[in-house]
Amino acid sequence: MNNNKLNYKKALDYIIKKSGLSIEDFAEKANISPSMIRHTSEDWNPKFVTVEKICSVLNISVVSFFAIAEHESEINQSITIKYKIKENNITQKNLNKKLKDIREKSNLSKSQLAQKTGINKTNICNREHLKNQNKILCSTLEKFAHSFGLTMSKLCEEIDDEEENEET
């Protein structure tokens, strides 16, 4: 598992470059502000919904975004990221449900998860009982991923897998 801080700015820059679009055109297609793109810093912590919007421009999954963020130091002109085509967006409600399912599959109690993540147990309970529908920050998702022994891209793959299993 990679415990290094993910570099979301580098992933954003890489995806914009791969799109071949100007910042303004990319922002318009992603339905985000061009100034937000221009003012991202190395410690940028996007909301998950923002990552989804960014990925929608190239029709890639959030798994690909997090894989780029995890491996940004290895990305150069000779590496081509194999994008996974996204099939659907993950709603905040579904994301909270999937995190609960993965927690239970990992045999972690809410108290244990709170201790491992540093996230308040009440916050975890509210998310799992769908009382907290606030858009989740990527740094919060990182805490969940690490507590489950997963990278961000692997966590998102697990969430995608759970979603596909429900559809069948």
What is the SS3 assignment for 120-137?
CHHHHHHHHCCCCCCCCE
Distance of CA 14 to the CA centre of its chain: 16
Is the full-model pTM beyond 0.85?
Answer: no
What are the pLDDT digits (tens) for 79-122?
334 444 344 556 777 788 888 999 999 999 999 999 999 999 99
What are the pLDDT digits (tens) for 37-64?
999 988 899 999 899 899 888 888 888 8
- 3-state SS assignment for residue 2: coil
Domains observed in the chain: 8-74 (1.10.260.40), 92-167 (1.10.260.40)
What is the CB neighbour count within 10 angstroms for residue 109?
A: 12
